[in-house]
Structure formats: structure tokens, C-alpha cells
């Protein structure tokens, strides 16, 4: 089944998240994620989160929670802060979603939270794309999103390849070195 048909079906059922971790459309990306090390995934996920944070800041100029979550994740990954303060910032970003009315922006908040949570465990890595692509469907509409979503999926793959070759030379917390 075409991914767009799956998205339409999920919309009809009232699902908030329109892509799943095991959907066929993301299977190639999921396999690349499985084959990547934790540090590569953190670099990749936090770069993706930066894009979503920038977009949220354009729409909500006074809102700091997404940026704080991203900064907290970087500091956590580098050992400058412990898990609890970073986790609080990430949860605050997720909480922002409950205050918004735009389904696209709600999904972007969750995309940021999922991407930042990759520092904790690589299992969150597919969450960023799931929520960001969902946001794009809501933003552009089902009939107008195919090209943008296909392009973004390719960017995910390209950026993951990029970071797999450039993860050295950074300061990492001890738990990131395992």
C-alpha cells in the first residue's frame, strides 16, 4: 500500500501520529538507524531537532521550551548536565504541545522531544521523523505533501550518512562513549 493511503487511513481513524515506527515508508531509514551508533544518532537527531525548533520559534517568538530542550540535550550528551535537568526540559517541550491548537505545531513539539530523547536511548531516533513528517502532512495537507515528505525522508538518510562519518572531535559524556 502506498504510504499516502496509509496516512489517509490513519487520518480517517483519528490518529494523531500519521507515521509509525514500523511503517513501510520509513523501513529503509529504520534499518539505517539500527545500524548506526549512539553518538551518530545523537548528532543526527539533534540536527533535525534544530530545524523544528527554528520553525517553532518563527511561529511562537517568545516560547523558549523547544530551544531549552535542545540545549539541554546537547549539554547532557556532552556531560555538562545530568539526565534529570535535561529530561525536565524535554518534558516541558512535550507539555507545550498540550497548550497549542495547531496539529502541525503539536507534532513539531513532539518531534523535538523525541529527537532530544535520543541522548537517553537510540530507540527514540525514529520518533523525530515520525512526528516531523506528521507535522508536514498537517501543514501542507494530504493532497499537497507527497513531494515535500519524500524530499525530507531523503534528507534524513543523507544527514545520517553525513554524521556517521563526522562524529569525532566532540566532547561526550562518559555514558555516550559506551
Q: What is the pLDDT of residues 81-127, one digit of tens each?
A: 999 999 999 999 999 999 999 999 999 999 999 999 999 999 999 99
The DSSP call for residue 92 is H
Element (H, E) at 47: helix 38-59
Instruction: Write out pLDDT tens, residues 24-36.
Output: 999 999 999 999 9
| pTM of this structure | 0.96
E-assigned strand segments in the chain: none
Element (H, E) at 3: helix 3-12
The rounded distance, in Å, linking the Cα atoms of 83 and 143 is: 41
Can you spell out the DSSP letters for 109-146? HHHHHHHHGGGT-GGGTTHHHHHHHHHHHHHH-GGG-H
What are the boundaries of each domain within the chain?
A: 36-166
Amino acid at each position: 500500500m502506498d504510504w499516502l493511503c496509509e496516512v489517509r487511513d490513519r487520518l480517517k481513524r483519528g490518529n494523531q501520529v500519521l507515521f509509525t515506527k514500523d511503517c513501510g515508508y520509513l523501513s529503509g531509514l529504520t534499518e539505517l538507524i539500527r545500524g548506526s551508533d549512539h553518538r551518530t544518532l545523537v548528532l543526527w537527531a539533534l540536527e533535525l531537532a534544530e530545524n523544528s525548533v527554528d520553525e517553532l520559534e518563527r511561529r511562537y517568538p517568545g516560547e523558549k521550551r523547544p530551544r531549552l530542550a535542545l540545549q539541554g540535550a546537547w549539554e547532557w550528551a556532552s556531560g555538562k548536565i545530568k539526565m534529570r535537568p535535561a529530561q525536565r526540559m524535554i518534558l516541558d517541550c512535550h507539555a507545550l504541545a498540550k497548550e497549542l491548537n495547531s496539529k502541525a505545531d503539536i507534532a513539531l513539539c513532539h518531534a523535538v522531544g523525541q529527537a532530544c530523547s535520543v541522548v537517553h536511548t537510540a530507540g527514540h531516533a525514529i520518533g523525530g521523523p515520525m512526528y516531523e513528517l506528521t507535522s508536514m502532512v498537517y501543514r501542507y495537507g494530504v493532497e499537497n505533501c507527497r513531494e515535500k515528505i519524500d524530499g525530507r525522508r531523503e534528507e534524513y538518510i543523507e544527514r545520517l550518512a553525513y554524521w556517521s562519518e563526522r562524529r569525532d572531535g566532540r566532547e561526550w559524556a562518559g555514558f555516550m562513549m559506551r
